[in-house]
Amino acid sequence: MDDIAEQPLFQPQDIESSATFRFLRKINDIHGLDLKTYYDLYKWSTAHLDLFWGQVWDETGVVGQKGSHVVDNAAPPVANPTWFADAQVNWAENMLRCRSVDKVALIEATEPTPEDPEPRLRRITYAELYNLVADVASALLHHGVRPGDRVASYSSNCIENVAACLATSAIGGIWVSAAADFGSEGVMERFEQVQPKFIFAVDAVVYNHKVHKHLPKLSGLLSGLADKISPPKVVIISVLSHQSSRETWEKDWLSWEDFVGQGRESHLGRAEDGEIKWHRTAFDAPLWILFSSGTTGRPKPIVHRAGGMLLQAKKEFEICGDLRPDDVFFYYTTTGWMMWNFLVSGLTIGCTLVLYDGSPLRDVSLLWKMVDDLGITIFGTSAKYLDQLSKHYRPREHHSLHTLRHIYSTGSPLAPPLFDYVYEHVHPKVLLGSITGGTDICSLFAGMCSALPVYRGEIQCRMLGMAVESFAPTGTLNPPGEPGELVCVRPFPCMPLGFWPLPGFGTEVEIKAAQDRFYQSYFSEFKDVWYHGDHIIITRSKSGNGGGLIMLGRSDGVLNPGGIRFGSAEIYEVLDICFTNTAGEFIVTDYLAVGQKIDGGADERVILFVKLPPGHSLTPDFEKKVKAEIRARRSPRHVPAQIIQVSDIPYTLNGKRVEVLVKKIINGAPLSSVNPATLSNPECLTFYRDIGEELRRACPRVRGL
């Protein structure tokens, strides 16, 4: 990687005063050690998981009962060991430690529209948020929600959504969220698996300078769920009340205001002294379910443990990132992306969070104006956003941005030229934290550290307590600089409990299937260790960081356009529903969806290959119809950039489509890298090689691998 500069782009001013080195000195004092560098601390943290994570609990002031047990330090990751077996905690209680009547907890901003060119900012203090959460918790209890019940959201990024999440946790419920831009069928695939007792939804959303009514999508979701689960209670949040009429509501829907009023009257969620009746659970109790699609089957319902989410956020924000109560923390995200959970977890710091609903690029100056207007100090976004911005906008020429301390980027690898762009055209002294983790762990494997330099093209470091390594295909450890598979060779507290249903929440057959799928997803590739599906390089150590990370992209068949990951199965199901079981002009007999790298590897676009019946050709009308159905039933991100007719789809001898292989070929891998003995029809790969060359020539932004 000769293009990775050895000179740092950012150098911390006072390493010794950083939160990381304060923690290092405390470890030295307590355990009689002489750790000197970040890497010294990192190695100790991954060798002594019990001592490290126990000290993280103490250092960050977790509210709850800790107990004496932390973890079996000898357990392999595949054992998914119990953490803090004697602990009792509540995630929301730790989010609402601040009760200030003056400190703003949340600021909600909305994209302007022609009808509302200067939408007002909504603000809520920590004291107001606490009272709102207490009322929502009381209302949920009033309607019979109990610990372990699922409460779902099909909503925009608004204050009410945060309050509903906190209230669900407060009473021991399990939170489930889907973004409002998801098609109703995609949401149905998720919600039918977890059977929520409640659904919170907005009546409208703003995107790309327009107001989009949301209730028709909600009605479609409820109709699809009607014969699959018990009817959930529905609460409508009127984001744009003047755009909505209750004439379109079902008679049993509740308004947010009426629902909160019921809770205020019932007081079921409060003790006599006014304190919320926090339902403290085991450290390993489920907190929320996030969905990540593999390449086959339904979206995977990943269950995250309450204590793991809490302790990881505490470590990442307080010890590694050095976030402070006076920070103003913004992350551009929808409610269906794990970065929403990441952002909301910032409440545990007592800082101010900024929620934004709308397009980030319709007016490229909008988010940067928000930085100046709101004093944003921590700005979170995606590599795709920075790439698009770099083509035509230089924020430093139009905005002060003097409050910025950190910029975080995730979703896809941040290309080296984008590091240059940020330091030249956004802020010369900001900590640019490229971070990586995923929905699977809802936190970070590698990312930011305020005590370390930033080098061009590299993630700063492996996070404390996360024993990340690079494995060769044989399962052996790679030396620095060699590309390989991202693995974690020690357990970590944000490891999911499993896939839903957990034991006690389903039949024996369902639970066994979920357990088998969980094992196959993360532990079947390499014996005993966590396999994440990212292709990486761990660089040589510089400035005591133990080596940064260079992300080379996904190593499996997951699609990742614009930093939004989903499985090809989500596209395939639309084709199955709309185009394979119908008579008439629009028929598809087989299909294959893969990602093609573009923008120097910063992003990818979806290429859909379709096989049609003999004598049929792919017409513009056919292509338009396919794209329209995918957009309506999934989301705009799912729509293929190109649809290409093929004569054959490659399969393995076991009858599986070979997505990963085709992805590699269209991105430039030679046919000589293919073992034809593993395929039933290897002769068809010549077409994909040729079409790959055409696609790369036709798209000059494409990067060959």
Alpha carbon distance 466, 464 (integer Å): 6
Whole-number pLDDT of residue 289: 98
pLDDT band of 2, cuts 50, 70, 90: very low
Report phi then psi at 689, rounded to 5.
-65, -45
pLDDT band of 584, cuts 50, 70, 90: low
Question: Which tokens belong to 317?
Answer: 């924000």
Alpha carbon distance 678, 660 (integer Å): 13
pTM: 0.87
Whole-number pLDDT of residue 6: 79
Helix 49-60 × helix 38-47 angle, to 10°: 110
Whole-number pLDDT of residue 4: 47
The string over 661-699, giving b where at least 16 C-beta atoms fall within 10 Å of a residue's C-beta and e elsewhere, is bbbbbbbebeeeebeeeebeebebbebbbebbeebbeeb
Alpha carbon distance 691, 464 (integer Å): 44
The mean pLDDT of 699-705, rounded to a whole number, is 46
pLDDT band of 653, cuts 50, 70, 90: low
Q: 505 vs 576, which has greater pLDDT?
A: 505
Domains of the chain: 88-451+459-537 (3.40.50.12780), 558-698 (3.30.300.30)
In 3D, which of 154, 153, 190, 180 has the Cα closest to residue 169?
A: 153
**What share of the chain has pLDDT > 70, as a percent?**
95
Q: Is the peptide bond before 501 cis (omega within 30 degrees of 0)?
A: yes
Which tens digit of pLDDT belongs to each residue from 166-200?
A: 999 999 999 999 999 888 888 998 999 999 999 99
In 3D, which of 256, 48, 296 has the Cα closest to residue 164?
A: 256
Which tens digit of pLDDT belongs to each residue from 327-368?
A: 999 999 999 999 999 999 999 999 999 999 999 999 999 999
Alpha carbon distance 567, 299 (integer Å): 8
Q: In what order do the strands lie in the sheet with 530-538?
A: 468-471, 483-488, 530-538, 549-554
Residue that the structure tokens 């379910």 belong to: 289
CB 561 within 8 A of CB 544: no
Specify the amino acid at residue 592: L
CB 688 within 8 A of CB 663: no
Report phi then psi at 210, rounded to 5.
-135, 155
3-class DSSP state of 27: helix
Residue 68's contacts (CB-CB under 8 Å, 6 or more residues apart) are: 86
The string over 206-237, giving b where at least 16 C-beta atoms fall within 10 Å of a residue's C-beta and e elsewhere, is bbeeebbebbebbbbbbebbeeeeeebbbbbb
Question: Which tokens belong to 689?
Answer: 């090689």
Question: Which tokens belong to 28?
Answer: 């030295």
Alpha carbon distance 508, 505 (integer Å): 9
In 3D, which of 550, 315, 548 has the Cα closest to residue 453?
A: 548
Alpha carbon distance 500, 421 (integer Å): 42
Specify the amino acid at residue 19: A
Tell me the residue length of the chain: 705
